[in-house]
């Protein structure tokens, strides 16, 4: 059964993913980034993330609820690999056969994701590190006019 993502469902997913590992056991270089989707931006969701990531959370409204972490730059397509790579890379592949049902769409997404090579993913993650460095050096300002290769 497919479910709509609500705040409660979001926390359930976080719990399934992170609850088995205590904060002190997590690598100190690991950060949690999330977009500004409303289900992700509730006090309960931020408290959960704060428990497991401490100040290593980048999210819109994070500081408002926890006083820790870093606010996501509003309207920023600069940071996440999903925004600057994945959605564009998948779009043409997923919609080439015009899926008309949720099952067809899910299948097309799985096929498209599985077609991305390991080499491409490594390149994307190298680019991601460069983007984060630029973000730090720009003091959190937008940098859409910078070309990353």
Residue 49 pLDDT class (50, 70, 90 cuts): confident
Task: Please give the distance of CA 131 from its chain centroid, rounded to a whole number.
Answer: 14
CA angle 77, 79, 81 (to 5 degrees): 90
Q: Percent of the chain, pLDDT > 70?
A: 79
Residue 58's DSSP bridge partners are 33, 70
Q: What is the pLDDT of residues 58-111, one digit of tens each?
A: 888 888 888 888 877 666 666 778 777 888 888 888 998 899 998 999 999 999
C-alpha to C-alpha distance for 133 and 127, rounded to whole angstroms:
10
SS3 of 70, please?
strand
- Report the distance separating Cα 46 and Cα 140, nearest Å: 21
* Domain range annotation of the chain: 7-71, 77-138
Cα dihedral 29, 35, 36, 41, rounded to 10, equals -50
* pTM, entire model: 0.58
Average pLDDT over residues 19-32: 63
Alpha helix locations (H) across 54-117?
62-66, 81, 87-95, 102-114
**Mean pLDDT on 35-58:** 82
Give the per-residue pLDDT at 131. 81
pLDDT at position 89, please?
Answer: 86
């Amino acid at each position: 059964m497919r479910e709509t993502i609500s705040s409660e469902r979001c926390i359930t997913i976080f719990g399934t993913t992170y609850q088995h590992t205590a904060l002190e056991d997590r690598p100190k270089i690991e950060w949690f980034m999330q977009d500004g989707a409303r289900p992700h931006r509730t006090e309960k969701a931020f408290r959960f993330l704060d428990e497991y990531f401490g100040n290593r959370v980048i999210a819109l409204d994070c500081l408002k609820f926890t006083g820790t972490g870093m606010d996501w730059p509003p309207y920023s397509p600069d940071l996440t690999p999903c925004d600057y790579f994945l959605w564009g890379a998948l779009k043409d592949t997923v919609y080439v056969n015009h899926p008309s049902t949720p099952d067809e769409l899910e299948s097309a997404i799985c096929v498209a994701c599985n077609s991305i090579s390991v080499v491409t993913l490594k390149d994307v993650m190298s680019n991601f590190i460069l983007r984060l460095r630029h973000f730090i050096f720009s003091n959190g300002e937008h940098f859409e006019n910078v070309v990353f290769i």
